[in-house]
Chains A and B, each alone.
Chain A
Amino acid sequence: MPSDDVSRSSPSVRASCRSCWLAAPGLLWMALFFLVPLLLVFAISFASRGTYGGIVWEFTWANYLDLLHPLYGKILGQSLWYATLTTAICFVLGFPLAYVIARSPARWQPVLLLLVMLPFWTNFLVRTYAWMIMLRHDGLANNLLLALGLIAEPLELLYTPTAVVIGLVYGYLPFMVLPLYVAVERLDPVLVEAAWDLYASRWAVFTRVVVPLTMPGIVGGCILVFIPSIGSFITPDLLGGARSMMIGNLIQHEYLVVRDWPLGSAVSFVLMAIVMAAVFVYYRQASSADGPLEGR
């Protein structure tokens, strides 16, 4: 690399980039402990399992074909279902919240947003555990429902798919609220007023004015909720039963219990493919966000 001392006078137009090398140690670290391990998982997903759980380096598609087995298909399917349901519920709960925050007095907005985000920054295990207490047979949820007369006897809530979805919604609701808040904040209230003045129904105002104009936030929020939901481990592990297993639990099971690393690796890559697809959708809508609606 040629050294040019003249460039010292204007650091921003330096041609040879000596300071770029500052990034090298950190990037090397990421390559060694992030990229290499991922490639290793990828390679192993095409290997086969040895008799005692080791790895035999023979190329095979068998691990991916094994995933077509109904048992794995069911886990994959219900993971997608729980994640989708979680995303939908987060939207229903998160939209009003984001709307109210974005339309509240300016000095309250940061405080309200902080209140939404704060639980997210606390220990995930602890937050999930809190729901174990809530959903127990003699927990608060059952006591509340009994007191309100909605049920005659306690429901079995803990260790069910319902508990898993409640836990996921609880864990990732803040991810929905933030992008929606940004989108609603940019939405000109005059446009909504105009729709009301033109006698649009409540539903028409929402579906034909608010939703199209906040679409980037809606897509962003949904994907930010979907990604961690589909890859979750703790929530289904603690709140779900044996039959509400998700992909993350299957990976852990294959690696640590069955010790079938090649199959576990194949499952990991299927999960990664789903997540990458979601990330792709996210970036595509982010880059097309400068459409006519944004240019107002």
Chain B
Amino acid sequence: MKQRSVGLKAVSLLSMLFLYGPIVVLVLYSFNAAHLSMAWRGATLKWYAALVHDEALLAATANSLFIALVSTIGATGLGGLIALGMEQMSHRRQQLLEGSLVLPLVIPEVMMGVALMLLFVMFKMPLGLTTVILGHIVFNIPLVTIMIRTRLRKLDPLLREAAADLGADSWQVFRYVSLPLLRPAIWGAVLVAFTVSLDDFLVTFFTAGPGATTLPLKVYSMIKSGVTPEINALSALLLVVSMMCVAGSLYLQRREV
């Protein structure tokens, strides 16, 4: 078996190189002193320093963080409540809801973007931070619901029944039994929702108006207007931030009850 799998291992190694190569190259070049060429001209931090002095970029970062924060709170609340509410529903209803909640995750994001834009324009809602937040909550609700439901299903129903037998009412069962057990899943969902919101481009692209430029929108317009070393530095930073958020979320979800 050993010799037979050498070929497979070689292809796997190449695939891994393929996955990480571009990311590594991007991060390396964010330290390259050369302005336009790809040739290496020594290491520098000046592109990172330039980012700090870019007012528009800082404003976009503030917008992104604000949108991510508000939409995460909204989606975690609404999505978590859906997960809890689904618990007591009939099996058929649960399946129906589960199926419908997958829909927002599979339909092309460009379609979700134009649909929301149409809604806002037709109902005369000015496009801005508010519309972006409304949209981000839409794609984050299913993510939160699915993650919290996964954990809810793993909970031992006996724990809740025991609490109820000991005289706890349904609020007390939730507050003192379910909630503490769900906490890691909730924080995991918060981190995922925050990351997805922070990274979203398409829904934001269609629902943001003037003054609601987010970091991804800014990155997009920078890329469109020409490749510069600043984008490399900004991209490298974004890579590191989202990887940290995901690592945190996975850590929280994997933790034993």
Interface residues of chain A, those whose CB is within 8 Å of chain B, are: 8-12, 14, 17, 19-27, 29-30, 33-34, 36-38, 40-41, 44, 93-94, 96-97, 99-101, 103, 114-116, 118-119, 121-127, 129-134, 136, 138-140, 143, 170, 173-174, 193, 196, 202, 227-228, 230-234, 238, 248, 251-252, 255, 261, 264-265, 268, 271-272, 275, 279
Contacts and interface: CB of A to CB of B under 8 A. Distances in A.
A197 to B, nearest CB: 12
Interface string B211-253: 0000010011001000100011001001100110110001000
Which of A26, A115, A230 gathers most chain B CB within 10 Å?
A: A26
A196 B4 CA distance: 11
Contact of A9 (B25, B88, B165, B216): B165
Contacts of A125: 199, 201, 216, 219-220, 223
Given A8-B170, A23-B85, A33-B119, A126 B107 contact: no
A12 B1 CA distance: 51
A10 B170 CA distance: 10
B114 A29 contact: no
A132 B23 contact: no
B176 interface: no
Nearest to B118: A40
Contact of B81 (A23, A121, A123, A231): A23
B170 A272 contact: no
The secondary-structure label for the interface of chain A is helix
A25 B83 CA distance: 12
Contacts of A124: 199, 201
B116 A33 contact: yes
A130 B234 CA distance: 12
Interface string B1-25: 1001101110110111011111101
A271 B141 contact: no
B72 interface: no
Interface string B113-154: 011111100100000000000110110011001000000000
Interface residues of B, number: 88
B231 A129 contact: yes
Given A8-B169, A279-B106, 4 more contacts: A96-B15, A121-B242, A123-B238, A132-B227
A97 B11 contact: yes
B111 A251 contact: yes
Interface of B: 1, 4-5, 7-9, 11-12, 14-16, 18-23, 25-26, 29, 37-39, 78-79, 81-82, 84-89, 97, 100-104, 106-112, 114-119, 122, 134-135, 137-138, 141-142, 145, 157, 160-161, 164-165, 169-170, 173, 195, 199, 201-202, 206, 216, 219-220, 223, 227, 231-232, 235, 238-239, 242-243, 245-246, 250
Nearest to A261: B118
Contacts of A275: 106-108
B108 to A, nearest CB: 3
Contacts of B137: 29, 33
B111 A41 contact: yes
B58 to A, nearest CB: 18
B20 A23 contact: no
A80 to B, nearest CB: 14
A94 B15 contact: yes
A131 B19 CA distance: 11
Nearest to B220: A125
B228 to A, nearest CB: 11
Contacts of A261: 118
A123 B145 contact: no
Nearest to A177: B15
Given A37-B115, A173-B15, A9 B246 contact: no
A201 to B, nearest CB: 12
A244 to B, nearest CB: 16
A269 to B, nearest CB: 9
B78 A134 contact: no
B219 A121 contact: no
A32 B63 CA distance: 24
B225 to A, nearest CB: 13
Contact of B22 (A11, A30, A115, A127): A127
